[in-house]
Amino acid sequence: MNSLNPARQAPVTTADKIFETMQHEIVEGEILAGSKISEPELAKKYQVSRSTLREALNRLEKCHLIERKANVGSRVVECTVTGLLEIYIVREALEGMACRLAATAMADDEIAELQSILADHGQDKKLQDGVAYYQEEGDLDFHYRVIQGSNNQQLINILCGELYHLVRMYRCQFGMNSPRATRAYDEHKAILHAIADRDGELAEMLMRRHIAASRKNIERKLEQEKL
Amino acid sequence: MNSLNPARQAPVTTADKIFETMQHEIVEGEILAGSKISEPELAKKYQVSRSTLREALNRLEKCHLIERKANVGSRVVECTVTGLLEIYIVREALEGMACRLAATAMADDEIAELQSILADHGQDKKLQDGVAYYQEEGDLDFHYRVIQGSNNQQLINILCGELYHLVRMYRCQFGMNSPRATRAYDEHKAILHAIADRDGELAEMLMRRHIAASRKNIERKLEQEKL
DNA sequence: ATGTTTAAGATTGTCGACAATTTATTGGCA
DNA sequence: TGCCAATAAATTGTCGACAATCTTAAACAT
């Protein structure tokens, strides 16, 4: 999936590698959410100097995975319900707009390619039925391609560069194998149909509903867990 | 204006000060857009070590004022027409959503305060008439408060922390003393009215039109300059 | 003259050490 | 016992130097 990102450059410097390693560990929860980051400790763990580690920390901060306070240090971000819902709001606004733009900016062959990918997902879904994991990957893949299709570098940068891994982190740590798999698949089809029709207004509305439905689904689920 | 930002912490470390200095110089164009950043040169200019300067550069990158390539160096971002229009698109999506949220999240006294501020702007506008500068500040101020009113930390962070200074940079360098002053003022009043009515849907639509109108105004102006 | 290879110069990335600040610990006092 | 002050320990911020990489220049061959 990461390999699909054309903007992503291969990790050339050591700080790049430490960054990617830590990014993975934070997303997967191996480095616990909310935990304090000890620069000396981690520098020893990864066998690099503190300068190099700090360079990596700066990039983690750029994609909102850690937070720094002057003269105090860094902490991994907490995974709160509020934070999760806030991100869905941002995604609803930005991906909705991206979808509107994609309806006019995407080339015919890009749309065709995405249609065939979606068809593949449909078959896989039938095979695996309830198992939502693959669908999750597929969901990310679909959203990712629509964003790229917007052809707006600022949008792409924010969604694919700065928010993407934070979204993945929440998915991992809240264990989201949603029961919305088949419905989400249908919604994807409808969105893509609107894009193929070059109907930006409808495409935006459908994408916003799609993301809002996910958000409400989570709100509902978390409400039930409380009871 | 900056003093209105509650999230902003006073510059405590030397890297903070260098960051703010450079941020100002880039926004105002004293450090030219598109120019290459020489670490040794700037370190000498500001009388700090390269490590400290690099720390400042990292924060400039976070708010999209410079871009870095591994083993090559940093450049100040270019101010292109495409880039400007792209930012307006992002703002339309995000500030529209912020406005929708503000309609339900803002407290009554916050709304009242903003109304009185807007009234002051109206008087100042009458006094200074065509002079758009103060109105520009007022425009930023209004948008800023609506964003804060959304009470969504992710939104606030992106708009006020990461995009704010880039928007200011474009305003400075493209010399935007728009002739939309009085119309923008009326639009602000209508937006705030919708917020006071707690009509989020309308508030979002009006804010989106407001920003889209600005964008189209710029598109038109730049189109004319070409001819 | 032009294009390629090689070497020199300059720039960025990384390192370890020191200074400044914060946090933890200890001791004293109400 | 509980709270505050002073000290000790640990952590973050800053510095200058070295290593790796890129850029520029010069020399050479075609």
Q: Are the C-beta atoms of residues A7 and A156 closer than 8 Å to each other?
A: yes
- Tell me, what's the pLDDT at A181? 66
Q: Is B158 on the interface with A (CB under 8 A)?
A: yes
pLDDT confidence bin for A189, thresholds 50/70/90 = very high
Q: What is the pLDDT of residues B49-68, one digit of tens each?
A: 999 999 999 999 999 999 99
A87 touches chain B (CB under 8 A): yes
Give per-residue pLDDT as tens, A193-211. 999 999 999 999 999 999 9
In the prediction, which pLDDT does A136 show? 64
Band (pLDDT 50/70/90 cuts) for residue B115 is very high
Pairing of strands A73-76, A66-69: antiparallel
Cα dist. A72→A92, A100, B12 in Å?
A: 34, 43, 12
Please write the tens of the pLDDT for every residue from B195-222.
Answer: 999 999 999 999 999 999 999 988 888 8
Look at residue B27 and give its three-state secondary structure: helix
User: Would the pLDDT of A153 be above 80?
Assistant: yes
Convert the pLDDT of each residue in B15-51 to its tens digit. Answer: 999 999 999 999 999 999 999 999 999 999 999 999 9
Q: Of A86-100, A185-199, B162-176, B201-215, which gets the smallest average pLDDT?
A: B162-176
* Residues 6 or more apart in contact with residue A141 via CB below 8 angstroms: A1, A4, A117
Q: Which nucleotide is nearest to A16 (CA to C1')?
A: C13
Of B55, B70, B154, the CB nearest to A86: B154
> Residue B4: what pLDDT?
46
How many Å apart are CA A102 and CA A195, to the nearest integer? 7
Protein CA at A72 to nucleotide C1' at D10, angstroms: 12
Is residue B188's pLDDT more than 90?
A: yes
Which comes out higher in pLDDT, residue B119 or B156? B156
Average pLDDT for residues B181-189, to the nearest whole number? 83
The set of residues, in sequence order, having a beta carbon less than 8 Å from that of B140 and lying 6+ positions away, is B1, B168
What's the CA gap between A108 and A63, in Å, rounded? 32
A163 vs B133, which has greater pLDDT? A163
Q: What is the pLDDT of residue A3?
A: 41
Nucleic strand D under 7 Å from the C-beta of A44: no
Selection from B169, B157, B149, B109 nearest residue B7 by Cα: B157
Alpha helix (H) residue ranges in A63-180: 81-105, 108-128, 133-149, 153-156, 164-173
Interface size A-B, in CB pairs within 8 Å, comes to 69
What pLDDT is attached to residue A225? Answer: 76
Residue-level pLDDT at A53: 98
Q: Are residues B96 and A93, on separate chains, in Cβ contact within 8 Å? A: yes
- In the complex, which nucleotide's C1' lies nearest to the CA atom of residue A43? C15
pLDDT at B99: 98
Q: Per-residue pLDDT for A89 more than 80?
A: yes
Burial level of A72, CB count in 10 A (0-12/13-18/19+)? Answer: exposed
Among the partner-chain residues A70, A86, A152, the one whose CB lies closest to the CB of B13 is: A70
The answer to whether some atom of strand D lies closer than 7 Å to the beta carbon of B38 is: no
Burial of residue A34 (CB within 10 Å: 0-12, 13-18, 19+) is exposed
Mean pLDDT, to the nearest integer, of B141-158?
95
Whether the model pTM is above 0.85: yes
Per-residue model confidence (pLDDT) at position B141: 85
The answer to whether A155 and A97 have CB atoms below 8 angstroms apart is: yes
pLDDT computed for residue A6 by the predictor: 46
Whether residue B71 and residue A96 make contact (CB cut-off 8 A), yes or no, is no
Predicted pLDDT at B133: 44
Split at pLDDT 50, 70, 90, the class of B114 is very high
* Residues contacting B20, CB < 8 A, separation 6+: B11
- What's the maximum distance between 2 C-alpha atoms anywhere in chain B? 56
pLDDT higher at B133 or B101: B101
pLDDT for B10 equals 80
Say whether the CB atom of B15 is under 7 angstroms from strand D.
yes
Q: Please give the structure tokens belonging to residue A175.
A: 């264990």
* The pLDDT of residue A157: 96
Whole-number Cα distances in Å, B124 to B118, B130, B210: 10, 11, 21
Q: Does B6 score more than 50 pLDDT?
A: no
Q: Which residue among A62, A93, A154 places its CB closest to the CB of B86?
A: A154
Averaged pLDDT score across all residues of chain A: 89
